[in-house]
Amino acid sequence: MSNALLTPDVAQRVLQAAASHGGEWAEIFVEDRANVGASLDDGRVEELSSGRSRGAGIRVLVGETVGFAHTADLSETSLMDAVAAAASVATGRQGSSAPINLTPGGAYPTSVSILPSTIGKQRKLDLLFAADDAARAGGSEIAQVTVQYNDSRRRIVVANTDGVFEEDDQVRIGFMVMAIANGDTGLQTGFQVFRRTEGFEALSEELLRDLASKAAEQAITKLSARPAPSGELPIVLAGGSGGMLFHEACGHGLEADLIVKDTSLYAGRVGSQVASKGITLVDDSTMAGEWGTTRIDDEGAPASSTTLIEDGVLTDYMWDFLRSRKTGRGSSSSNGRRQSYAHLPMVRMTNTYLLAGTDNADDIVASTMRGIYVKQLGGGQVDTATGDFVFGTSESYLIENGEITVPLRDANLIGNGPEILSSIDAVADDFSMTTGTCGKDGQSVPVGCGQPTLRITSCTVGGTA
């Protein structure tokens, strides 16, 4: 990594100081983050901003006690001060002078062809205007269009007393279009987003115009939407659309911090049937270009893929360093993530998805006599202790006699994660991903979610009829 944020010799001296203060284990996490954002609202540039932050967080462990301090000054003197503060948890404990030998991970390839920082602001604004034009061309019903662009570059270095010295350079780019249509039924919103862990090469005017056209079409279609029915109905989730539902309703309950605290209904159930046969759930930070992809996690563990549920059987949880250490697991599953250098890492998902099955998506719909076809989900919430969830739909249609018919107004899907997993009776051979921002304990990180088209035999619909 050019313009090194932290050199191995400085890291070694700082970690040696942590050990001499009595720390059993210590870690340095250094981050340099740059962000650019632009937004267009009703044809006017509302925002064109950039930001930069850099600093280091230092963790020191003594038993199960964690000392943590952070600093925006990356000088060795400031890092030493932060070590002294973090190591205060080791007061009265004899320090160690055993040498710490760091093993740098070495060079690594990057898939980024065009760094967004090399692209002028006008080019980025041109894309905003092109998307605005495409959305408005969708129909005279379009009353308002909002378009947003953002890119970020996050360079990190992680070093610890186990000898780890790893670096990563994470470049992400995103684009969002929201179109509002006005009609006899009032205002309706269409929303489309594109996000990738890639460079500017991921964007093209054609792609963004298509994104904007879809947002406009979605908004206009919803003008003729009927009230959604209420009650227990089969739900067909389109590929990708339900990924966030499984992220929230099932994924969080498989994070090891909740397992160790025994606050998850999945605690102690490895080896048990927790989903229908044919359901395999994976968390994978190695997926090229996806929103939750990294080369290493925020504790320096190399990216990996973890099968959580295989053919309906619970096989593993997601782990960070602390929980792995506490349970004697031996290694994390690369799920230690943090919002920034000023935050402690915790167990977090990366790209979490259900594997494709063998059914045909069209056949799944055709074999559903009456139900709801959910093309896009909105936001939701879940109780990780019980698995109970509520999710809103942002684009859905009625299924009648095996055919997708009229659009429906936004409604709520109400259910329980484990019950839903056990109520899936058809899984298609298609697959797609969607993206999100996952919040947990006040921290937000980018995540990917995905699944094939599938059918849930019964789910409570809080309709508008």
* Per-residue confidence in pLDDT tens, the chain, 465 aa: 446 899 999 999 999 999 999 999 999 999 999 999 999 998 999 989 999 999 999 999 999 899 999 999 999 999 999 999 999 998 888 888 888 999 898 666 667 999 999 999 999 999 999 999 999 999 999 999 999 999 999 999 999 999 999 999 999 999 999 999 999 888 999 999 999 999 999 999 999 999 999 999 999 999 999 999 999 999 999 999 888 888 988 899 999 999 999 999 899 999 999 999 999 999 999 999 999 999 999 999 999 999 999 999 999 999 999 999 999 998 899 999 999 999 999 999 999 999 999 999 999 999 999 999 999 998 888 887 888 999 999 999 999 999 999 999 999 999 999 899 999 999 999 999 999 999 999 999 999 999 999 999 999 998 665
Longest distance between any two alpha carbons in the chain, whole Å: 76
Find out whether 288 and 363 touch, Cβ atoms under 8 Å: no
Q: What pLDDT is recorded for position 446?
A: 98
> What confidence tens digit (pLDDT) does each residue in 397-448 have?
999 999 999 999 999 999 999 899 999 999 999 999 999 999 999 999 999 9
> What confidence tens digit (pLDDT) does each residue in 214-225 have?
999 999 999 999
Give φ, ψ of 301 to 5 degrees: -75, 135
Distance CA 315, CA 306 (A): 9
Distances (CA, A) of 82 to 57, 140, 141, 403: 8, 59, 58, 63
Q: What pLDDT is recorded for position 2?
A: 44
User: Which residues, 6+ apart, have CB-to-CB distance to 177 below 8 Å?
Assistant: 131, 135, 145, 146, 147, 191, 192, 193, 208, 211, 212, 215
CATH of the structural domain 116-222, one choice from 3.30.2290.10, 3.60.15.10, 1.10.10.10, 3.40.50.620: 3.30.2290.10
Q: What pLDDT is recorded for position 458?
A: 95
Distances (CA, A) of 178 to 144, 147, 150, 341: 8, 6, 15, 32
Task: Provide CATH 3.30.2290.10 ranges for the chain.
Answer: 116-222
Q: How many CA atoms lie within 13 A of 464 on its CB side?
A: 13
Whole-model pTM: value is: 0.95
Q: What pLDDT is recorded for position 407?
A: 96
**SS3 call for 412:** strand
